[in-house]
Structure 1
């Protein structure tokens, strides 16, 4: 019986020691930590035009529809490649799809397909003129974006603004709470583009492009805003 009591007592002391060790070794609750964020934004003219030309075909069988779509692309590609120049106007094929059409009874009554050709680059005049000369396809979509070079440059400007705003806000808040300064704990950086939607006038012109014969497709780029947000936490001290 005495041995049993000793064993129980030893076990109790060990459990107490482990509990105390666990308490002492646990993560310390942070104090005087401030969460904040700041934003920098730069407005810039869009310098990249992406124009999608397309055609649709319908027929009784999939093979004939596919052949007609390929014929349209084969007719359009030489004209597009003739005016291509890296960076100024790049040419690529887009979606190429063939789908069945169904009758009321659920059976296949025919086939329809769509083929796309994409012209994109920084030379708006070259792209719009090439699109006007391609007769086998019509303009289905016009979009504007930023080139990689412009995006990199503008993001750097917006990021510098966000960093300065973050530092100024952290300093202001630290002093407001009675601290002399702060130390950076963690930070994350996110960027996105916030621009206006398509201009109705531009889209209306693009929709009428099939009525133009060898005339440049009128386009007009807008402006967009590149926004960089820096968020994180600081240790007041």
Structure 2
């Protein structure tokens, strides 16, 4: 037997993905350009409250092209790429985040609206209790419908990820030209399932 409860919560976090990409003949000098750009980005984000920057990847790629006459690979330089995410608790700060990325020479990759860990945990704490009550209420109703004297719960488990939708898709950067960007919401669902013995 099972019972579920759910609640829609407004997303309270915006995640902006970005890439810093620099190319040149010498890997060391290109890496220095990348490091300078990363420092500019950090300085630009310091003025925004409740913003976190996380590096998610760093790669070095050898650049080549094919000689049309000899068909041989010809070395042309190096490409350093740093990917990352900027987290903000305020959707209203997204345009400022984009400005900071532009100033550092970064390429914004998109925006994802999410529910913060703190907000989800608070919601789950409430829904866990409601799910148990819903489970017991259903067990009581079944026992009454069968004309039984009562019931006993033999096993009960709580699932905090039952039927939840996936993360909200990334918003195209063109959407930032609109007067406002909606954060949307996330449906948090809790299921209580178990075995009940009707007496």
Give the TM-score category using the shorter length.
0.7 to 0.9
* Inter-partner Cα distance in structure 1 for 2:172 and 2:128: 33
Q: Deviations over 1:159-215 (max 9, x none)?
A: 23322221122122233444222111121111134367437xx42426xx7xx9xxx
Contact in 2 for aligned 1:40/1:160 (Cα 8 Å): no
* Inter-partner Cα distance in structure 2 for 1:113 and 1:106: 24
* Inter-partner Cα distance in structure 1 for 2:112 and 2:4: 27
For structure 2, the residue ranges without an aligned partner over 5 or more in a row are none
Return the TM-score normalized by structure 1: 0.66
Contact in 1 for aligned 2:109/2:173 (Cα 8 Å): no
**Alpha-carbon offset, residue 112 of structure 1:** 2.9
Q: Name the count of aligned residue pairs.
A: 190
Contact in 1 for aligned 2:60/2:79 (Cα 8 Å): yes
Contact in 1 for aligned 2:113/2:168 (Cα 8 Å): no
Partner of 1:120: 87
Structure with more relative contact order (C-alpha pairs < 8 Å, separation 6 or more): 2
Whichever structure has more helix as a proportion of its residues is 1
**Alpha-carbon offset, residue 137 of structure 1:** 1.2
For structure 1, the residue ranges without an aligned partner over 5 or more in a row are 1-35
Q: In the alignment, does 2:189 pair up with 1:189?
A: no
Q: In the alignment, does 2:51 pair up with 1:89?
A: yes
CA RMSD of aligned residues (A): 3.1
**Residue from 166, 184, 190 that aligns with 2:135:** 166
**Alpha-carbon offset, residue 46 of structure 1:** 0.4
Contact in 1 for aligned 2:114/2:168 (Cα 8 Å): no
**Alpha-carbon offset, residue 108 of structure 1:** 8.1
Whichever structure has more strand as a proportion of its residues is 2
* Inter-partner Cα distance in structure 2 for 1:43 and 1:161: 15
The alpha-carbon distance between structure 1 residues 158 and 102, as it changes in their structure 2 partners (threshold 3 A), is farther
* Inter-partner Cα distance in structure 1 for 2:4 and 2:73: 57
The alpha-carbon distance between structure 1 residues 177 and 75, as it changes in their structure 2 partners (threshold 3 A), is same
* Inter-partner Cα distance in structure 2 for 1:174 and 1:57: 69
The alpha-carbon distance between structure 1 residues 66 and 78, as it changes in their structure 2 partners (threshold 3 A), is same
The alpha-carbon distance between structure 1 residues 50 and 108, as it changes in their structure 2 partners (threshold 3 A), is farther
**Alpha-carbon offset, residue 225 of structure 1:** 0.1
SS in 1 for 2:148: coil
SS in 1 for 2:21: strand
The alpha-carbon distance between structure 1 residues 93 and 204, as it changes in their structure 2 partners (threshold 3 A), is closer
